[in-house]
Structure 1
Amino acid sequence: MPIKSITPDFSVTEQVSADDLRRAAAQGFKSVICNRPDGEAPDQPRAADLQAVAEGLGMQFRHIPVVPGAITDEDAAQMAQALANMPAPVLAFCRTGARSTKLYEMVQASRAPAPGGQKTYDIVIVGGGSAGIATASSILRRRKGLSIAVIEPSEVHYYQPGWTMVGAGVFSAEFTRRTEKSVMPRGVEWIKQAASGFAPENNQVLLEDGSAVAYRVLIACPGIKLNWDAIEGVAETLGKNGVTSNYRYDLAPYTNRLVKDLKRGRALFTQPPIPIKCAGAPQKSMYLSCSKWEKAGVLRDIDVQFHTAGAVLFGVPAYVPALMEYVERYNAHLNFESKLVAVDGARKVATFEQKRGDEVVRVEEPFDMIHVVPPQVAPDFVATSPLAAASGFIEVDEATLRHVRYPNVFALGDACSASNAKTMAAARKQAPVVAVNALAALDGKEPVADYDGYGSCPLTVESGKIVLAEFGYGGKLLPSFPNWLIDGTRPSRLSWLLKDTILPPVYWHGMLKGHEWMVKPHRIGA
């Protein structure tokens, strides 16, 4: 029974059993609300039976059944009445928790001050990461004087593309970290809270403290959730027992230490199903590790394995030949359709589910070090919101990045549903597009710019050389430089210089400041 805390007094979960109710009582819950109609599934406990168990444990119980996709204001009113009268903390449930979350959002929206008594911002941006800060800066460079709020709870801002280089000992971890305050654009109001939901019918963002923020235009870019819990045992062993990941700031230095210390044995590198942030990053860590071992003269004594849940090494075929040259050079063993499902750090054993014909088998692999990349999903408050597509990500038109149902809502970065590669380079190209389209929406006009799906993945195939993959929707190659300068399909020292020396200042002093070098928005019809 995974419990998601919305506020200290209200949590949601999936369908509960009698045993789950006993555990909930032991955790201190005082009240239970069932939002699932009886009879939705043959094995579903009846609400009346669960009520008897709950009340026997001293908890209050209410049954407020709602139908998916047909939740009414009357349903929300009943939920509000229950929350007002039942002792906290309250645990609400339905089949997945989504309906309970939606009801709570509707209750909070109904409690928010009327428009006349609440400040309405011209633009509200959810997320103060790369996408949010770049978009805010791009907007302010075009039109000063707007009221813009950025909702971001973190005090720290990271240059995440640098963590691969931290794991290779090229950058220090501190090089990739600055305060959020230092990157927040002048002229915006920083709301230091986490968003908990969206109420687009009321033009509001709901916050974790129960309040709401009103907007004329919403730009949502809250990032992606690293789902460590999807791999059994990994959370308990990260940072020890040879288990590491460049997907966390605090672990990338451990990757570097493991690589330096390993002289012989077995090294595993894993990649989960797409979508993930920077689909090339899992193999980048392998190549850079192998490059170090090669230089140290120990590579021949290390069994290198790459396990990917996908069926190919890289999704854009043009770059595969160059990558395969390095796979062969490093004698790395490729395991396709091999998904990491468990890690036993104490035993140093990883378990994979591998597809073999029509069967899926579980295979245990011992390791001396393992670089883990977790499955990645939309943040919970996004996936359960009215903005979500079936995938859980914010549903947008791939060209304009405007929401398909709410014309004053835009999304970009890792949290949007567009099929581009989820990279910082993609957010850099998306930000100006969203900036000009959001301003058009403020003026009551249709979008004026479109996005071609551009993303870039500098594949660090060895220390000092990079295969600069640049592509758009459908795998179309979209190189930024002429072929005589940089052939992106071949390893290049100039591409390494780009990542090592040029891109970090471009990020801190260009992208985050609203400078749109080489990413000016493309006008529709131009």
Structure 2
Amino acid sequence: MANGASDPARVPSTTAKTYDVVIVGGGSAGIATAASLLKRNARLSIAIIEPSEVHYYQPGWTMVGGGIFDAPFTRRSQESVMPDGVTWIRASACGFAPEDDRVILADGSDVHYRVLVACPGIKLDWDAIPGLREALGHYGVTSNYGYDLAPYTRRLVDGLKGGRALFTQPPMPIKCAGAPQKAMYRSCTRWEKSGVLPNIDVQFHTAGAVLFGVPAYVPALMEYVERYNAHLNFESKLVAVDGPGGFATFEQKRGDSVTRVEEHFDMIHVVPPQIAPDFVRSSPLAAASGFIDVDEATLRHARYANVFALGDACSASNAKTMAAARKQAPVVAVNVLAALEGKPPVAAYDGYGSCPLTVESGKIVLAEFGYGGKLLPSFPKWLIDGTKPSRLSWLLKDTILPPVYWHGMLKGREWMVKPHMIGA
């Protein structure tokens, strides 16, 4: 792959050219979809609209916070992952005009398409919790949801010898619904190993009413909750952080009443509320939820036949994980090719998502499920029983999945995620 601004496929482009496919978002979903499309038809003209010069392997951030990976391991240049043959438009999208087949850029210019693939990700709404943004990275306030913050999590965990540690989970939807728990389990296993766990009051505050949304995985997780003596607080939503004072405020629902409770902390791991990007919520593509309105199976837009969406920004009810995007990308690719020929969608997505829950050093509960909480294991039960902690699952997360991401998913290699064809 050529590098540098001299490459004509990667210079900024605001011409009136109409591309076969315009992809908004150069994250996991966008790059994987472009690569899958080009594997099938290298002659397509594809533009990817992405302002960032850096691409992250975000599933690795919980491992950074847990002391397994170093942060640079999860980071590469956007240039290095951009598929050969695409036009990289280094700009921010700020609106959609689907009636005219246009994407509007922040500078006011347009990019025209025959088919649009929208995957701009999700917005981490740090400002929704008063005091949080100012406290992040200081006063014991951290989050594995930030590249620069995950190393701070590691330092806090290693430095805490006693006191109170809080872990929070906001209302759904969020990316990687298991990540708030992973932060707790990884911290506890390190405290257990260093012998200080009995000195630490561990609390998990979740806005939800259950520990995990798929019941089959709850028994194994509860064994670790009990092992680490973590106190569960259901329907407890973080609403304010006082970093200098070391207090967090929660709204707790108890029956029909809601009360405010202040909790002191020596360390708090916060997962921010998450919403669709502003320009998506205000666009004609948005559903009532603010996310892009798609058919859950075909991932085609509910009203515009030449628009598709996947990843964290789409309205499908699957878990928002990298594994979901990996399964969605080939489905979208073959359906986009059908749309370019004026045909209806030919492939369907089953809601697959995966959440490798790192419950202790060397063991993971590998949650794999689809729409409605249906279990969708990738491996036979004799090899990996996802409802139980497994060392082989740890090997998958620690050693196998990163190269699968960089050298498989982002290169259009559809290992174990071939699209399911409708009627097949």
Compute the TM-score of the two structures, normalised by the length of structure 1: 0.78
Q: Give me the whole-angstrom Cα distance separating, in 1, the residues matched to 2:245 and 2:103.
A: 46
For 2:16, the aligned partner's letter is Q
Deviations 1:176-207 (A, max 9, x none): 00000000000000000000000000000000
Give the match for residue 150 of structure 2: 252
For 2:371, the aligned partner's letter is Y
Deviations 1:212-271 (A, max 9, x none): 100000000000000001101000010000000000000000000000000000000000
For 2:46, the aligned partner's letter is I
Deviations 1:458-515 (A, max 9, x none): 0000010000000000000000000000000000000000000000000000000000
Give the match for residue 220 of structure 1: 118
Give the match for residue 11 of structure 2: none
Give the match for residue 273 of structure 1: 171
Give the match for residue 290 of structure 2: 392
Which of 137, 145, 148 is matched with 1:239 structurally? 137
Question: SS at 2:99's partner residue?
Answer: helix
Give the match for residue 180 of structure 1: 78
Give the match for residue 315 of structure 1: 213
Question: SS at 1:122's partner residue?
Answer: strand
The structure with more radius of gyration: 1
- Structure of greater relative contact order (alpha carbons < 8 Å, 6+ residues apart): 2
Give the match for residue 396 of structure 2: 498
Runs of 4+ in 1 over 4 A off after TM superposition: none
Give the match for residue 191 of structure 2: 293
Aligned counterparts, 1:35-184, within 5 A = 118-184=16-82
Q: Give me the whole-angstrom Cα distance separating, in 1, the residues matched to 2:26 and 2:297.
A: 23
Q: Give me the whole-angstrom Cα distance separating, in 1, the residues matched to 2:311 and 2:57.
A: 14
Q: Give me the whole-angstrom Cα distance separating, in 2, the residues matched to 1:273 and 1:226.
A: 13
Q: Give me the whole-angstrom Cα distance separating, in 1, the residues matched to 2:333 and 2:82.
A: 16
* Identity among equivalent pairs (%): 82
Which of 107, 114, 129 is matched with 1:209 structurally? 107
Q: Give me the whole-angstrom Cα distance separating, in 2, the residues matched to 1:513 and 1:357.
A: 50
CA RMSD of aligned residues (A): 0.7
Aligned counterparts, 1:441-460, within 5 A = 441-460=339-358
Which of 446, 453, 461 is matched with 2:359 structurally? 461
Q: Give me the whole-angstrom Cα distance separating, in 1, the residues matched to 2:129 and 2:207.
A: 13
Q: Give me the whole-angstrom Cα distance separating, in 2, the residues matched to 1:323 and 1:232.
A: 31
Q: Give me the whole-angstrom Cα distance separating, in 1, the residues matched to 2:408 and 2:155.
A: 32
Aligned length: 411
For 1:333, the aligned partner's letter is H
Per-residue deviation at 1:145?
1.0
Residues 165 and 203 in structure 2, CA contact (< 8 A), matched pair in contact too: yes
Per-residue deviation at 1:161?
0.1
Per-residue deviation at 1:118?
2.1
Per-residue deviation at 1:357?
1.3
Q: Give me the whole-angstrom Cα distance separating, in 1, the residues matched to 2:239 and 2:319.
A: 24
Deviations 1:351-408 (A, max 9, x none): 0000011111000000000000000000000000000000000000000000010000
Give the match for residue 195 of structure 1: 93
Q: Give me the whole-angstrom Cα distance separating, in 2, the residues matched to 1:147 and 1:254.
A: 42
Question: SS at 1:452's partner residue?
Answer: coil
Give the match for residue 32 of structure 1: none
Q: Give me the whole-angstrom Cα distance separating, in 1, the residues matched to 2:222 and 2:44.
A: 51
Q: Give me the whole-angstrom Cα distance separating, in 1, the residues matched to 2:333 and 2:109.
A: 26
Deviations 1:79-102 (A, max 9, x none): xxxxxxxxxxxxxxxxxxxxxxxx
Deviations 1:95-131 (A, max 9, x none): xxxxxxxxxxxxxxxxxx9xxx821000000000000
Q: Give me the whole-angstrom Cα distance separating, in 2, the residues matched to 1:375 and 1:236.
A: 16
Question: SS at 2:67's partner residue?
Answer: coil
Which of 259, 262, 268 is matched with 1:364 structurally? 262
Give the match for residue 335 of structure 2: 437
Unaligned runs of 5+ in 1: 1-112
Q: Give me the whole-angstrom Cα distance separating, in 1, the residues matched to 2:204 and 2:45.
A: 49
Residues 16 and 110 in structure 2, CA contact (< 8 A), matched pair in contact too: no
Deviations 1:115-155 (A, max 9, x none): xx821000000000000000000000000111100000000
